[in-house]
Amino acid sequence: MKIYKDIKLLCTYALFKKLIDIEDYDYAINRLTNLLQINDYFDIEVQYKDVKEPSVLLDPILDYAFGLGLFSPNTISKRDQFEAQIMDLFLQRPSCLNEVFNQLLIQSPIYATDYFYSLSKKSNYIKTSRISKNIKWKSITPYGLLDVTINLSKPEKDPRDIVLQGKDNSISYPKCLLCKEQVGFYGRDSSPGRTNHRIIHMKLNNEDFYFQYSPYVYYNEHSIVLKREHEPMKVTIETFKRLFDFVDLLPHYFLGSNAGLPIVGGSILSHEHYQGGRYRFPIEDAKVISEHTILDVSIKQLYWPLSVVRLESKNRELLIQMADKLFNFWVNYNDIEAGIYSFTKAPHNAITPIARKKNNLYVLDIALRNNLTSDKYPLGIFHPHPENHHIKKENIGLIEVMGLAVLPGRLQNELEIIKQVLTKHKVQGEEDIVHKEWVEYLVSIYNDEPIDHFINEQVTLKFVKCIEDSGVFKQTKKGKMQFNKFIEKLLANLAQ
Ligand SMILES: [Zn+2]
């Protein structure tokens, strides 16, 4: 039977990748045959060259399981759930992984994260083959080189899954996708499979947090840090302490928090969490417009599409105190001319803080945010404006704040058509209606330069507009004066 060969190939893969030892091999075969409801097994000779990457090896096994009725319908999310259960057979228990991680951490934080990241890929929790389909590029802009990714790895919802989700009322456990109870959770119709999901316990600011990788990896070693309790996002002085505790523990990583208010926050506000990773984001290379020092903390005003203040110091405690003062100053800051009202019926001013370490220097970038809406801008005044929604209309979260655009998968096809219009392989008007005005503009400026480069650059410039829209002080003469006025008042406040 072909399934015996498929089982052997997968167990051999696990052995090669050191997910299991030779002593675990028969045990793994038996657990897998049991999961597939097979009571028998024949050892069939396999070729080393056939031990390919996990997605290739798992496909025929998933087909077999579906044929047997072990899951249904045959959608990507249902296959992913069953696949997570298979790969979990080759993983150690969460407690063992925590022990290994902490042992490695004593030797080197890099060893610890390398081990966990590599394990997450080998177990196909991070689906490298799917992620490699993401389209990525960098383009030069007035703010320096920015990153763009068109996300094709997060599977779009299958209509059959949406029907099942509508029937699913049991949403009390786990409370959300970020809850620690997702560890090993098989999943239900409305959630992804997490049987092979692992989290590492960490004490940050003397509170219990968990560290995990994002399965969708928007950038290298994209991580999530979540609170033990299912509590809503809230930025306070404790946030800064947690962020710096994390970068003290893993100095090669950054960690940032989304704002705690809707519109300017991330997509999940119901569970306190942060995002980090090992990646140099464009904001790190932003030009500094002005620099001042108070006590041992330098306060830098950045040239960036959003309004960002950078605090730097070797003195962690002073920096945290200064950050808290800045935060409180901003929370109550009003500038009627700039359209900034800190409070109407609810508070509107918020921040997106991002922490990292450069040798012994602590760095905290604080993006100033405001979530006010108006009749003209019901989705947010400081949010991508309607004329830019054809590229992105989702919230501008901390990843975008740092200069990486995460754009929707639909753009892959839509941009191809626009390229064909520009190179006259299709007639103008064949593009998606949402891009009509943009295409008119592109046709007027396109001058037969290499088309891929041209489109990438233009998409990036559109993204710049989206994040400029989200900036509280605009990149105009007036906006710059308003930002300067804020800095002046801030400095006076910090010096007190
Ligand atoms: Zn939760």
* Per-residue pLDDT at 33: 97
- Is the residue at 64 inside a domain? yes
Token couple for 428: 């103008």
Cβ atoms of 365 and 353 within 8 Å: the answer is: yes
Query: Looking at the 3D structure of the chain, how many domains does it have?
Result: 1
Per-residue pLDDT 10s for the chain (496 aa) are 899 999 999 999 999 999 999 999 999 999 999 999 999 999 999 998 999 999 999 999 999 999 999 999 999 999 999 999 999 999 999 999 999 999 999 999 999 999 999 999 999 999 999 999 999 999 999 999 999 999 887 766 667 776 766 665 556 889 989 999 999 999 887 678 899 999 999 999 999 999 999 998 999 999 999 999 999 999 999 999 999 999 999 999 999 999 999 999 887 889 999 999 999 999 999 999 999 999 999 999 999 999 999 999 999 999 999 999 999 999 999 999 999 999 999 999 999 999 999 999 999 999 999 999 999 999 999 999 999 999 998 889 999 999 999 999 999 999 999 999 999 999 999 999 999 999 999 999 999 999 999 999 999 999 999 999 999 999 999 999 999 999 999 999 999 8
- Is the residue at 400 inside a domain? no
* Per-residue pLDDT at 189: 78
What's the CA-to-centroid distance between 182 and ligand 1, angstroms?
9
What's the CA-to-centroid distance between 71 and ligand 1, angstroms?
26
Query: How many helices and strands in the chain, by DSSP H and E?
Result: 15, 13
What's the CA-to-centroid distance between 240 and ligand 1, angstroms?
21
Residues in the chain: 496
- Report the phi/psi class of residue 414: left, alpha or beta, with left for phi > 0 and alpha for psi in -120 to 50: alpha
What's the CA-to-centroid distance between 225 and ligand 1, angstroms?
12
What's the CA-to-centroid distance between 226 and ligand 1, angstroms?
8
* Per-residue pLDDT at 156: 61
* Per-residue pLDDT at 169: 57
What's the CA-to-centroid distance between 267 and ligand 1, angstroms?
13
Strands (E), 169-249: 200-204, 207-213, 223-227
* Per-residue pLDDT at 162: 64
Cβ count near 284 (within 10 Å) = 17
Strands (E), 187-328: 200-204, 207-213, 223-227, 254-256, 273-277, 287-294, 297-303, 308-313
Q: Are strands 135-141 and 144-150 parallel, antiparallel or unpaired?
A: antiparallel
What's the CA-to-centroid distance between 210 and ligand 1, angstroms?
12
* Per-residue pLDDT at 166: 60
What's the CA-to-centroid distance between 24 and ligand 1, angstroms?
34
Q: What is the DSSP-derived secondary structure letter of residue 157?
A: P
Gyration radius of the chain's alpha carbons = 25
What's the CA-to-centroid distance between 420 and ligand 1, angstroms?
45
**Alpha-carbon dihedral sign for residues 171, 350, 314, 301:** positive
What's the CA-to-centroid distance between 398 and ligand 1, angstroms?
19
- Give the whole-angstrom CA distance, residue 413 versus residue 76: 20
Q: What is the DSSP-derived secondary structure letter of residue 415?
A: H
Q: What percentage of the chain's residues is helix, strand, coil (to nearest 5)?
A: 40, 20, 40
- Is the residue at 346 inside a domain? no
Bridge partners for 370 per DSSP: 349
Bridge partners for 317 per DSSP: none
- Is the residue at 126 inside a domain? no
Closest to 470 measured CA to CA, from 304, 311, 310, 281? 304
Q: Which residue has the tokens 């006259």?
A: 424
- Give the whole-angstrom CA distance, residue 252 versus residue 248: 9
What's the CA-to-centroid distance between 275 and ligand 1, angstroms?
15
What's the CA-to-centroid distance between 191 and ligand 1, angstroms?
13
What's the CA-to-centroid distance between 166 and ligand 1, angstroms?
20
- Is the residue at 196 inside a domain? no
- Give the whole-angstrom CA distance, residue 84 versus residue 86: 5
Give me the DSSP letters along 59-85: HHHHHHHHHTTSS-S--HHHHHHHHHH
Burial class (CB in 10 A: 0-12, 13-18, 19+), 276: buried
What's the CA-to-centroid distance between 230 and ligand 1, angstroms?
4
- Is the residue at 292 inside a domain? no
What's the CA-to-centroid distance between 255 and ligand 1, angstroms?
19
What's the CA-to-centroid distance between 186 and ligand 1, angstroms?
16
What's the CA-to-centroid distance between 177 and ligand 1, angstroms?
6
In single-letter form, the type of residue at position 401 comes to V
- Is the residue at 142 inside a domain? no
What's the CA-to-centroid distance between 179 and ligand 1, angstroms?
4
Asked whether the whole model's pTM tops 0.75, one would answer yes
**Alpha-carbon dihedral sign for residues 213, 214, 218, 224:** negative
* Per-residue pLDDT at 168: 57
- Is the residue at 66 inside a domain? yes
Provide the domain limits for residue 24: 2-70
What's the CA-to-centroid distance between 276 and ligand 1, angstroms?
18
Cβ count near 323 (within 10 Å) = 26
